[in-house]
Amino acid sequence: MIYNNVLELIGNTPIVEVKRLETGNSRLFIKLEYQNPGGSIKDRIGLSMIEAAEKSGKIKPGDTLIEATAGNTGLGLALVAAQKGYRLILVIPDKMSHEKVMHLAAMGVDIRMTRSNVEKGHPEYYQDYAERLAKKIPDSHYINQFNNQANPLAHELTTAPEIWEQMEHDVDAIVVGVGSAGTIGGLTRFFKKMAKQPDIVLADPQGSILKNYIETGQTGKAGSWLVEGIGEDFVPEQCDFSLVKKAYTVTDKEAFLVARELLLKEGIFAGSSTGVLVGAALKYAAEQKNPKKIVTFACDTGNKYLSKMYSNEWMSENGFMNEQKEHHYL
């Protein structure tokens, strides 16, 4: 099949069953979202949010789009904006990988780097910064993935039904992380309509407040973490935890080592958030007395983390591995 443009390649990503990780009596399936043209699951919402703004008359070609992003939403927006003729300004926390920044720069994005060690309400907090820019710049539109219904809608209309069909209507649990909450929101909306509702399992990096919020109803104070793209210091407005049956915390070290093991054992080259998701999926699988079919995501490609978690030097410098060890990380 010949496609008319790269945007037609977004979605319909494959699912592969992992065979060499320890899943007990359960089976683990990974949806390879890094096979989207921009290299991540966020291509889906980039297309959905821009097209929704077009349909509502909020933007026209030549306008400026503004967003706050830890990276992949920005890349998804950049992919779509370039094809549709929009200028794009992205406000990015400084913990983002060098590869993502270079990728965005190569796509002509106007990058505004800000601090990652400040909380919501601080003038340099990335979302507040982006919203402030949108009020100052003429003919601009703040995408606001954290409160944009086209974000979960993308997953309700594409990601969730793809999983349902690929798994032949037989899935017991879906392990998901939360950044803007679009994925969990869309999956929950879709599966609430099904007669059989899978457990939604939250995978949360250590330092994020979301696991604690699910278990206690309290947000608490956020810590810091190096995993990119998931975990929050607040509860996003479009978050829907109504199908969440279990939540797991995964440390940076666990996430990085699991992701590296996933590459070595399964040939799946994925990013840091995937390490959190697969780490949580393995914890969930280990607790099951009855066999379960568990689905999770390879959210983005490991190519974006070559200078970080796939660098032995960086891993050693940050205390995540002994450089002298053999390549067996778990």
Closest CA to 284 of 210, 173, 163, 179: 173
- Interhelix angle 252-266/272-287, nearest 10 degrees: 90
Sheet holding 110-114, edge to edge: 110-114, 87-93, 64-68, 140-142
**Rounded Cα–Cα distance for residues 74 and 8 (Å):** 18
Distance CA 48, CA 150 (A): 6
Per-residue pLDDT of the chain (330 residues; tens, 9 = 90+): 899 999 999 999 999 999 999 999 999 999 999 999 999 999 999 999 999 999 999 999 899 999 999 779 999 999 999 999 999 999 999 888 889 999 999 999 999 999 988 888 898 999 999 999 999 999 999 999 999 999 999 999 999 999 999 999 999 999 999 999 999 999 999 999 998 899 999 999 999 999 999 999 998 899 999 999 999 989 998 999 999 999 999 999 999 999 999 999 999 999 999 999 999 999 999 999 999 999 999 999 999 999 999 999 999 999 998 754 544 444
Residue 314 has what pLDDT? 95
pLDDT at residue 116, as a whole number:
86
* 163-187 pLDDT tens trace: 999 999 999 999 999 999 999 999 9
**What is the CB neighbour count within 10 angstroms for residue 286?**
12
DSSP state of 159: I
Give Dmax (Cα) for the chain.
58
- Using DSSP bridges, classify how beta strands 244-250 and 140-142 pair: parallel, antiparallel or unpaired: unpaired
pLDDT at position 97, please? 86
pLDDT tens-digit map of 315-325: 999 999 875 45
Q: What is the pLDDT of residue 323?
A: 52
- In this structure, which amino acid lies at residue 248? Y
**Residue 271 identity (one-letter amino acid):** G
Q: Which amino acid is at 295?
A: V
Q: Are 19 and 44 in contact (CB under 8 A)?
A: no
pTM of the complete model beyond 0.95:
no
Token digits for 15? 């699912």
Per this entry, what is the length of the chain? 330
Three-state DSSP state, 234? coil
Catalytic, 192? Answer: no
Is 316 strand, coil or helix?
A: helix
User: Are the C-beta atoms of residues 115 and 94 closer than 8 Å to each other?
Assistant: yes
Cα R_g (the chain), whole angstroms: 19
Tokens, residue 287: 């607790």
Query: Cα(55)–Cα(102) distance, rounded to whole angstroms?
Result: 31
The structural domains of the chain, ordered by start, are 6-35+152-317 (3.40.50.1100), 42-147 (3.40.50.1100)
Q: In 3D, which of 92, 205, 77 has the Cα closest to residue 141?
A: 77
176: phi then psi, degrees, rounded to nearest 5: -140, 150
Catalytic residue among 42, 253, 292, 308: 42
Q: Classify strands 173-176 and 64-68 as parallel, antiparallel or unpaired.
A: unpaired
Q: Identify the three-state secondary structure at position 112.
A: strand
Beta strands in 146-264 (DSSP E): 173-176, 199-205, 244-250
